[in-house]
């Protein structure tokens, strides 16, 4: 049952942002591009406080990275004059790319987190207009040993608990780090996650964890899609166990969890390392409803053959019932399911490489918002 | 300082920004002066460390400053500083 009259699906690509709207999560109207020729690797849709704010991390090859926000569904975009995310003096660092924009819980309105390249975590208390660098992670003694994945060295997953005190971050490469004091101090938590590509395949840190997500209903339960390996933790990342059995491949970038139901998660397996394509060129989403004990292949509505990969943030769920599942490929196709992945329909095709998608129900007032004029940086 | 059209909206629509000069100044100083009122423009040209962005090219007297003294390159009163983005990509 839908809880609002309109839905928005924001699609960040290598060459701009597109927005799709729908009255029913089945028929979608596409508008864009916004920020043409700039990549949009991160999107946050913040529906707290009775408004819909779309935050986007935008990066121009020429003019660098920045964060824009829109409170009118993309009709106008704003950025703080001096930049929402700006490394402070003394760090001798410059922002390369915003990989993650994550509005905090309903109970903490105005709080928005960001994960960035170089590896860093940031927190805003004004709805994403200004962020402050998390010094605990920035000054961590492990920093010099963290590495870069193919896409860069970044903190790409930020998972918060109900209290706001327990925070899990995942970075490529470095692995999972946990804070129990709201982000003041951090410890690696990777026991059981393989780093087969290192001389010691079971290091304390250094894993190439691609994405982590929290179970919506079981405290302390997390899921991880690793660079080879799919894992679950039932003890706040103290230890991880494999849940890859039953999947056609244990590589991939995506890890999604249900907004409310315990034990439900989605992955999109890829064959690796040599090929980086859906196994046998057959694109499919896999869902578990029993915390990884078994997996169900979901490919209804997906093409019979597709050789494109799906990147870590190019997939999302919405908060509706049943949950919507969305993802986009590096071939520029975007698919949506209004029934938790049982059936997919193509929302867009032939876009540039899809880097990020986010979806949310929006208030009816936004339903009439028209497509925006092109905005550049 | 002459701006490419794509950056002019960040300078109130101006294509030419000027800075007062008592004598020669470095490119760094000129950039500080002309972007002082337009910080978003300044961020497009230089990152937080003050470094010129990789695909931003700055010309003084027809020469790209990376081949001169970089940000320390001197600009004489009345001289033009051209901002030109690289043309590359796919």
pLDDT digits 0-9 by tens, A267-303:
999 999 889 999 999 999 999 999 999 999 999 999 9
**Contact check, Cβ <8 Å, A94/B56:** no
Domain assignment of residue B74, yes or no: yes
What ipTM was reported for this prediction? Answer: 0.94
pLDDT of residue A42: 98
Residue A372 has pLDDT above 60, yes or no: no
Residues 147-176 of A with CB under 8 A from B: none
Q: What is the mean pLDDT of residues B55-83?
A: 97
Q: How confident is the model at residue A351 (pLDDT cuts 50, 70, 90)?
A: very high
- All residues of chain A having their beta carbon less than 8 Å from the beta carbon of residue B86 are 62
Does residue B90 form part of some domain? no
Say if B18 falls within a structural domain.
yes
A14 touches chain B (CB under 8 A): no
The whole-angstrom separation of Cα A171 and Cα A158 is 9
Distance CA B36, CA B17 (A): 11
Q: Is residue A92 less than 8 Å (CB to CB) from chain B?
A: yes
Q: Give the pLDDT confidence of A180-211 residue by residue, as tens digits.
A: 999 999 999 999 999 988 889 999 999 999 99
Chain segment A133-174, per-residue pLDDT in tens: 999 999 999 999 999 988 899 999 999 999 999 999 999 999
CATH code (residue B33)? 3.10.20.30
**Chain A, nearest residue to B38 by Cα:** A81
**Angstrom distance (rounded) from CA A55 to CA A312:** 18
The pLDDT of residue A364 is 62
Binning chain A into helix, strand and coil, the percentages to the nearest 5 are 5, 40, 55
For A136, phi and psi rounded to 5 degrees?
-60, -45
Sheet containing B63-64, strands listed edge to edge, beginning at the edge strand earlier in sequence: B63-64, B56-60, B81-85
Q: What is the pLDDT of residues A214-248, one digit of tens each?
A: 999 999 999 999 999 999 999 999 999 999 999 99
Mean pLDDT on A27-54: 96
A58-89 pLDDT tens trace = 999 999 999 999 999 999 999 999 999 999 99
pLDDT of residue A4: 47
Any B CB within 8 A of A61 CB = yes
A365 — pLDDT class (breaks 50, 70, 90) = low
String of DSSP letters for A217-251: SSTT-EEEEESS-EEEESSTTS--EE--TTSS-SB
* Residue B1: inside a domain: no
Q: Which of B6, B7, B43 sits opposite A64 (nearest CB)?
A: B43
Q: Report the distance separating Cα B5 and Cα B13, nearest Å.
A: 9
Q: Give the per-residue pLDDT at A369.
A: 45
Helix (H, G, I), strand (E, B) or coil at B77: coil
Q: Is A377 on the interface with B (CB under 8 A)?
A: yes
Confirm whether B51 is domain-assigned. Answer: yes
The pLDDT of residue A374 is above 50: no
What whole-number distance in Å separates Cα of residue A308 and Cα of residue A288?
A: 23
Would you state the structure tokens that stand for residue B43, as one six-digit string? Answer: 């961020």
Residue A179 pLDDT exceeds 60 = yes
CB A116 within 8 A of CB A85: yes
- Domain count along chain B: 1
Residue B37 pLDDT exceeds 90: yes
Q: Do A61 and B43 touch (CB under 8 A)?
A: no
Does residue A4 contact residue A50 with C-beta atoms inside 8 Å?
Answer: no
Percentage of chain A exceeding pLDDT 70 = 95
Q: How confident is the model at residue A368 (pLDDT cuts 50, 70, 90)?
A: very low
Of A62, A79, A94, the CB nearest to B49: A94
Look up the pTM and report it: 0.95
The answer to the question of residue B3 being in a domain is no
| pLDDT score at A285 | 98
Quick check: is B37 in a domain?
yes
Please tell me the distance from the alpha carbon of residue B13 to that of residue A126, in angstroms, as a whole number: 29
Which among A63, A87, A95 is the nearest to B44, CB-wise? A63
What pLDDT sits at residue A11?
98
Residue recorded with tokens 């908060």: A319
Cα separations in angstroms, B25 against A355, B19, B66, B78, B81: 43, 10, 17, 11, 12
Q: Which helix (H) or strand (E) holds A31?
A: strand A29-34
Please give the residue range of the domain that contains residue B75: 8-85
Of B44, B45, B51, the CB nearest to A94: B51
Confidence band of A375 (pLDDT split at 50, 70, 90): very low
The verdict on a CB contact (< 8 Å) between B43 and A83 is yes
Tell whether B2 is covered by a domain.
no
């Amino acid at each position: 049952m839908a809880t609002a009259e309109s839905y928005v699906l924001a699609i960040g690509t290598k060459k701009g942002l597109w927005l799709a709207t729908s009255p029913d999560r089945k028929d979608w109207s596409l508008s864009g591009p916004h920020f043409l020729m700039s990549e949009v690797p991160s999107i946050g849709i913040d529906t707290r406080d009775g408004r819909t704010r779309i935050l986007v991390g935008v990066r121009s090859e020429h003019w660098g990275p920045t964060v824009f926000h829109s409170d009118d569904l993309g009709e106008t975009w704003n950025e703080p004059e001096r930049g929402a995310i700006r490394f402070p003096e003394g760090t001798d660092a410059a922002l390369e790319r915003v990989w993650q924009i994550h509005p905090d819980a309903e109970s903490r309105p105005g709080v928005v987190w960001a994960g960035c390249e170089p590896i860093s975590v940031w927190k805003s208390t004004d709805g994403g207009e200004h962020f402050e660098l998390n010094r605990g992670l920035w000054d961590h003694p492990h920093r010099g040993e963290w590495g870069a994945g193919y896409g860069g060295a970044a903190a790409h997953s930020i998972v918060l608990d109900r209290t706001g005190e327990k925070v899990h971050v995942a970075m490529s490469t470095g692995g999972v780090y946990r804070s129990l004091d709201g982000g003041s101090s951090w410890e690696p938590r990777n026991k059981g996650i393989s780093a087969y590509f290192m001389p010691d395949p079971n290091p304390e840190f250094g894993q190439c964890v691609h994405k982590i997500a929290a179970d919506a209903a079981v405290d302390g339960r997390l899921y991880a899609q690793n660079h080879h390996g799919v894992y679950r933790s039932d003890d706040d990342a103290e230890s991880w166990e494999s849940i890859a059995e039953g999947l056609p491949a244990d590589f991939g970038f995506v890890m999604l969890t249900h907004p409310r139901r315990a034990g439900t998660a989605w992955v999109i397996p890829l064959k690796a390392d040599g090929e980086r394509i859906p196994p046998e060129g057959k694109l499919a989403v896999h869902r578990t409803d029993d915390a990884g004990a078994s997996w169900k292949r979901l490919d209804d509505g997906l093409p019979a053959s597709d050789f494109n990969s799906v990147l870590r943030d190019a997939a999302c769920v919405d908060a509706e019932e049943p949950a919507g599942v969305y993802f986009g490929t590096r071939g520029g196709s975007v698919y949506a399911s209004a029934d938790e992945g049982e059936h997919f329909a193509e929302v867009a095709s032939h876009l540039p490489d899809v880097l990020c998608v986010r979806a949310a129900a929006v208030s009816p007032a936004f339903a009439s918002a028209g497509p925006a004029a092109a905005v550049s940086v | 300082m002459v701006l490419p059209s794509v950056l002019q909206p960040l300078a109130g629509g101006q294509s030419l920004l000027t800075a007062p000069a008592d004598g020669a100044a470095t490119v760094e100083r000129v950039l500080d002066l002309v972007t002082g009122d337009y910080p978003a423009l300044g961020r497009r040209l230089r990152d937080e460390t003050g470094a010129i962005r990789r695909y931003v090219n700055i010309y003084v007297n027809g020469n790209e400053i990376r081949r001169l003294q970089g940000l320390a390159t001197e600009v004489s009163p009345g001289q033009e500083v051209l901002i030109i983005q690289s043309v590359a990509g796919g």
